[in-house]
Structure 1
Amino acid sequence: MNNLIKNTLLFFLLPILTIGQIKSVTSQDGKLLLNFYIDQGIPSYSVEYNKKVLVEKSPLGLVTNHGDFSKGMTFQSAKENTIDEKYELEKIKVSSVHYQAKEIILTLMNEKKQHIDFIFRVNNNDVAFKYSLPQEDETACCVVEKEISAFNFPQNTTTFLTPQATPMIGWMRTKPSYEEEYVADEPVGTPSKYGEGYTFPALFHVANNGWALVSETGVNSSYCGSHLSDGIKDGVYSIAFPNPKENNGNGTAQPAMSLPGETPWRTITVGDNLKPIVETTVPFDLVKPLYEPSQKYKYGRSTWSWIMWQDNSINYEDQVKYIDLASTMGYEYVLIDGLWDKQIGQDRLPDLFKYAQSKGVDVFLWYNSNGYSNDAPQGAKYRMNNSIARKKEMKWLKSHGVKGLKVDFFGGDKQETIKLYEDILSDANEYGLMIIFHGCTLPRGWEKMYPNYVSSEAVLASENLIFTQHANDNEAYNASLHPFIRNAVGSMEFGPVLLNKRHNKTNDGGQTRKTGDVFQLATSVLFQSSVQMFAIAPNNLQDAPSFAIDFMKNVPTTWDETRFIEGYPGKYCLLARRHNDKWYVVGINATKEPLKLKVNLPMLAGKDASYYSDEKGNKPEMKNIKINKNGEVSLTIQPNGGVILLN
């Protein structure tokens, strides 16, 4: 029957394909197949790639207080569209995207004769779906009590997942904050650490069949953020709403929507290798900007005293030192972190702003988002969670030329918290301010939806290297995961490049770094964020290799193109990014043995290149080499080490 479909239908479909099968959609290249079924009134779908099943029959539907759209369903009609769009977006992994997909809108009716649209998009490596509810009577709103959507993986699947944290645990009751550890290659259906399921994105390896990355996009104030439930032994993971105890118990866990209304998109990126996973743009392909930018925002590099010098550095004199460091490095920004309200004082800040501006450096300023969500004590507080206070503060910031804010400590994924994110972004745009979020949820298409949005942490980031030796011992392992999972779906504000050997102000105490200098340099490219808060310190101008400082003076933060070369999550990663006409090829090794690779780099074929490497004992070296005309290069990456090639 599949051959019949391919040979006789250019676009879609037969009225009835198999028993229960209603529609089938094939990607433009013919490799990806989406099937939609209704069996005894229950809707479901499956996904194949290269004739191999990646997602087995999985349930679909919504249960609302207005009606049940998960059972007793009958097929009514189908509408087909071709999507062909181009867009430019400077702050993601590529600057120019041509999105082509097939769309099918399936209208179903439940036993109460209420209608719902199941909307699917299919392109060569992505499947996306969402639900749309019309207004059919006087009912103008509804509560979504449960989303039935699930992802059913074959038994031979292993997972790369990070657990959703229990609400109100951790430091000062700040979790969940998307800062848990990943477990690689775990058997499908393994219970999560906290019993709360798993956060998006979620990576699945179906042995001998391929890979699937599951996430969501298009989440705004009209819905909550979701995650995956614990998987059952059969390999089924369902959409789960926030725990009611998030946000200190305030706000509802179930989203409410006006009618007509739509849910966010659920996305599945698939392939027989990891290249489509790393290079996907589906989180941005499916969404539209929600407002116009008030100005053109400028991205770039920043220094940041807190990461290495910690709380006591948030004083006027130490901030001057980091402003001077930013100026010396040619960086666009300095971040003045938390506690500035007490340790510098708001009255003195304008003088500090003026000093930075006199050195050609603009300012990001830290704020605590907190109201009643958790107990995080750092100031400035109570200025971002209230619209009146927020607008007053932002007006003051604009008057002094501040360019951006880093807002920390959010309380979960409830709809009211998503609304807080959106309100901060929308208000900030009116005052010409860019926004970075920390202690926060995953961004879900926000780079495109909100023009002044920059990046989110939502990862076990560099601050943990300061806090624990365990994080340093596992730094390479964690770094080798992010391009395949967290950073594949959104900008990641990690705060990379720690060139101190010891993580303290004087480079002689605290935690010990286990990775090489070139490894650290490589993370400036490996981790994608259009504004990077680098963890270099003033002493690195003297104690780091001069070629490392020269590299950090010139590394960009925006990319025109990204190409995955090879790798395996938790073991190693080699990828290339292009800024204008300059290619940066970076690799890191998380294994315990030297990694010897022979790779083809056509972007560097026949060119002179600078070659950076951590040699034995992680001794950093830099030399100039000539790439042969066929682009073949032999590389050796030491354990906990890195390599960089750039033309």
Structure 2
Amino acid sequence: MKKITLIFFVLISFCLLSEVKAQVAEISSPDGKLKLNVFSEDGKALYSVTFQGKIMLEKSPLGLITNESDFSKNLEFINSKKDVVSKKYSNEKIKKSEVEYKANTLTVNFINVNEHSIGIEFQVSDNNIAFRYEILPMKDRFSCLVLSEVTGFKFPSQTTTFLSPMMKPMTGFARTAPSYESGYKADAELGTKADYGYVFPGLFHIGNEGWVLLSETGVSSLYCASHLNTTKENNLYQIAYPNMEENNGFGSSGSALSLPGKTPWRTITIGNSLKPIVETTIPFDVVEPLYEPSQKYQFGKSTWSWILWQDNSMNYDDQTLFIDLASKLGYEFILMDALWDKNIGKERMKELVQYAKSKNVGVVLWYNSNGTANDAPMGPRNKMSSSVERKKEMKWLKEVGVKGLKVDFFGGDKQETMRLYEDILSDANDFGLMIIFHGATLPRGWEIMYPNFAGSEAVLASEMLYFSEDVRKQEAFFATLHPFIRNTVGSMEFGGTFLNKFLTKSNKDKNKRHTTDGFQLATAVLFQNPIQMFAVMPNNLTDAPKFQLDFMKEVPTLWDETVFIDGYPGKYSVIARRHHDKWYVVGVNAEKTSKKLTLNLPMFVGKNVQFINDDKNGNTFTKPVSINKKGEFEIEIQPNGGFVLRN
């Protein structure tokens, strides 16, 4: 009996020692609620994450593979180091203008069988984890190609997903895909396959345990952008690099890295509610500006004719109408879209820019990104892809007084394409030009990294409301997703807020809008971008109610604070944004029945505010209301409807 007891004690001791050996480091958030553990097991590096003691990510793989060395297996733990990081920064282009960031840091170092070293740096703030790899020089090697990653995210089995599939390369309009313009599916089954994986960001619902948002940030010309892919294990998602077919097959699918070199940050935002998801600033907290702004850039509202008047509007006379519209609305900009080079020409464009300047309206011009990676025929073409041509063009743009560019049709996440994004931004800054990207990838910390970056599309945006009845029917559904997924990690230039009942130039006969005016006004606040191309038309000056026009004149595009109020992605969304001392609380409803809510609005306690809402017939009205001393307000949001409260 004593012998059996001794053997049992030895086995227990061995198991305990093995467990101690397996876990090599741990770190918690400043508030202690979020905890990350790092393991070394069977020559592999892994990590797990808990929040308030609940498992959010099970043991998940870490590591990458280069052409010089494999850092996914045969790894030996060397050491770890802890520290703290604290900083304050300001940025008017993101959801919160003043940010204080505090995090605990952990660097874990491994060596592989070839005696090559890799470090994994973690920053853990309240509700957020950011991590990246650092590869050190390999003896006489000071560069390498990073071929792939095994980095993964293993979720509990009860998880459901909110993901958007990556588009097939070289498909879609004029072979311009992928452009991050697929829709999301709500509460899909864990492990649902997609042919080309899923774009960042991805939202995961861990049942009653909470929520996890995955994304990446800090992607520059030094690396490719990545996405998520499913694996043989339904609950494990892994980092995937671009498909070789992207960018017309030009460029590597991996990344060329000078050593020592660091990868972009992978980010994980976690909460037991959606509040930390909506309010996170982690995409911006861990990156720094790559260059100084050449001037103080101005942001604001813009008109644009193309969204409803289409290609035929790209003529001198129609553009003067939209300059006049911008002037009457008090908007800072007009966007002149594709084909201006052919239909207006540079000489007459000088006249239009001067006319706009006389009306205190700045001009933003559209450009095709290049002529090699897609078949888009619209011009100007072949001006942005060549350094020589780009600088010539930007010199002319500065001389005539253009304020910025909308550059379209990129179609890929390869390092080669990331370099093109950065080159356009950097050159544009030299000439005092702002840049908006369309037909593009997700912005990954670019609001901080590039001072003249003014937003990206990277969403199933307003143009598809014009072209597709199916998208029009799902407008409210997608709108309720964006504050929790796409727009929470980066600026989103959607190009919407329609006051036309029919999405046509004539405002009749076809393309009937399925959402209310209250819904449209709410999205002007619900969607965040430093420059918003609003779809207000010249006819709206006479056929839209005055209170709606007044709202569209006054609504800001820059925000000092963003607060989650209520919502569930795909069903309804209510958020608050503050501009200086003015609060806007907005909500939209995608469900088939009206939504009755009691909102907690501490920013309006005891105040009289303007209320815009829809009645049961879908008619939008406005009236003053008082918020009680508890800050509670009862509201009913109609199906496909929306509301606004503002002081």
TM-score by length of 2: 0.97
1:253 aligns with 2:253: yes
1:282 aligns with 2:260: no
2:7 — aligned with what? none
Aligned-pair CA distance for 1:231: 4.5
1:6 — aligned with what? none
**Distance in 2 between the 1:568 and 1:257 partners?**
41
2:363 — aligned with what? 363
1:187–1:360 Cα change, 3 Å: same
1:81 — aligned with what? 83
After superposition, residues 11-50 of structure 1 pair within 5 angstroms as 18-50=20-52
2:160 — aligned with what? 158
1:486 — aligned with what? 486
1:115 to 109, 117, 122: 117
After superposition, residues 548-627 of structure 1 pair within 5 angstroms as 548-627=548-627
Amino acid corresponding to residue 104 of structure 1 in structure 2: L
Aligned-pair CA distance for 1:81: 1.4
Single out whichever of 494-503 and 223-232 deviates more from structure 2. Answer: 223-232
| 3-state DSSP of counterpart to 1:616 | coil
| 3-state DSSP of counterpart to 2:429 | helix
Single out whichever of 230-239 and 381-390 deviates more from structure 2. Answer: 230-239
Amino acid corresponding to residue 575 of structure 1 in structure 2: I
| 3-state DSSP of counterpart to 1:128 | strand
**Distance in 2 between the 1:594 and 1:234 partners?**
36
| Per-residue Cα deviation, 1:529-578 (whole angstroms, up to 9, x for no partner) | 01000011000111111100000000000000000001000000000000
| Per-residue Cα deviation, 1:230-259 (whole angstroms, up to 9, x for no partner) | 244431111000000001111111111111
- The answer (yes or no) to whether the contact 1:59–1:149 under 8 Å persists in 2 is yes
- The answer (yes or no) to whether the contact 1:519–1:640 under 8 Å persists in 2 is yes
- The answer (yes or no) to whether the contact 1:190–1:231 under 8 Å persists in 2 is no
- The answer (yes or no) to whether the contact 1:17–1:23 under 8 Å persists in 2 is no
1:113–1:233 Cα change, 3 Å: closer
1:511 — aligned with what? 511
| Per-residue Cα deviation, 1:399-429 (whole angstroms, up to 9, x for no partner) | 1111110000002000000000000000000
TM-score by length of 1: 0.97
After superposition, residues 289-368 of structure 1 pair within 5 angstroms as 289-368=289-368
**Distance in 2 between the 1:211 and 1:17 partners?**
28
Amino acid corresponding to residue 518 of structure 2 in structure 1: V
1:66 — aligned with what? 68
**Distance in 1 between the 2:125 and 2:178 partners?**
33
1:530 — aligned with what? 530
Aligned-pair CA distance for 1:146: 1.1
1:359–1:145 Cα change, 3 Å: same
- The answer (yes or no) to whether the contact 2:589–2:640 under 8 Å persists in 1 is yes
**Distance in 2 between the 1:17 and 1:487 partners?**
41
2:134 to 132, 135, 143: 132
- The answer (yes or no) to whether the contact 1:466–1:510 under 8 Å persists in 2 is no
Aligned-pair CA distance for 1:16: 9.1
**Distance in 1 between the 2:110 and 2:628 partners?**
59
Aligned-pair CA distance for 1:496: 1.6
- The answer (yes or no) to whether the contact 1:205–1:211 under 8 Å persists in 2 is yes
Single out whichever of 67-76 and 284-293 deviates more from structure 2. Answer: 67-76
- The answer (yes or no) to whether the contact 2:147–2:253 under 8 Å persists in 1 is no
Amino acid corresponding to residue 590 of structure 2 in structure 1: A
| 3-state DSSP of counterpart to 2:78 | strand
**Distance in 2 between the 1:618 and 1:342 partners?**
43
- The answer (yes or no) to whether the contact 1:224–1:414 under 8 Å persists in 2 is yes
- The answer (yes or no) to whether the contact 1:590–1:640 under 8 Å persists in 2 is yes
- The answer (yes or no) to whether the contact 2:192–2:234 under 8 Å persists in 1 is no
1:473 aligns with 2:473: yes
**Distance in 2 between the 1:19 and 1:594 partners?**
56
1:391 — aligned with what? 391
1:263–1:136 Cα change, 3 Å: same
**Distance in 1 between the 2:557 and 2:645 partners?**
17
| 3-state DSSP of counterpart to 1:476 | helix
| Per-residue Cα deviation, 1:288-325 (whole angstroms, up to 9, x for no partner) | 00000000101100000000100000000000000000
**Distance in 1 between the 2:536 and 2:20 partners?**
61
- The answer (yes or no) to whether the contact 1:499–1:544 under 8 Å persists in 2 is yes
1:385–1:602 Cα change, 3 Å: same
Aligned residues: 632
**Distance in 2 between the 1:454 and 1:369 partners?**
16
Question: Unpaired runs of 5+ in structure 2?
Answer: 1-15
1:101 to 88, 103, 106: 103
Amino acid corresponding to residue 118 of structure 2 in structure 1: I
2:145 — aligned with what? 143
2:184 — aligned with what? 182
| 3-state DSSP of counterpart to 1:70 | coil
**Distance in 2 between the 1:22 and 1:259 partners?**
26
| Per-residue Cα deviation, 1:408-467 (whole angstroms, up to 9, x for no partner) | 000200000000000000000000000000000000000000000010000000000100
**Distance in 2 between the 1:574 and 1:563 partners?**
9
1:403 aligns with 2:403: yes
Provide the identity percentage. 57
- The answer (yes or no) to whether the contact 2:525–2:577 under 8 Å persists in 1 is yes
- The answer (yes or no) to whether the contact 2:79–2:109 under 8 Å persists in 1 is yes
Single out whichever of 145-154 and 454-463 deviates more from structure 2. Answer: 145-154
**Distance in 2 between the 1:60 and 1:280 partners?**
24
**Distance in 1 between the 2:371 and 2:469 partners?**
32
**Distance in 1 between the 2:417 and 2:371 partners?**
11
**Distance in 2 between the 1:358 and 1:275 partners?**
45
After superposition, residues 49-60 of structure 1 pair within 5 angstroms as 49-60=51-62
| Per-residue Cα deviation, 1:490-533 (whole angstroms, up to 9, x for no partner) | 00000120111111111013311010101101101000001000
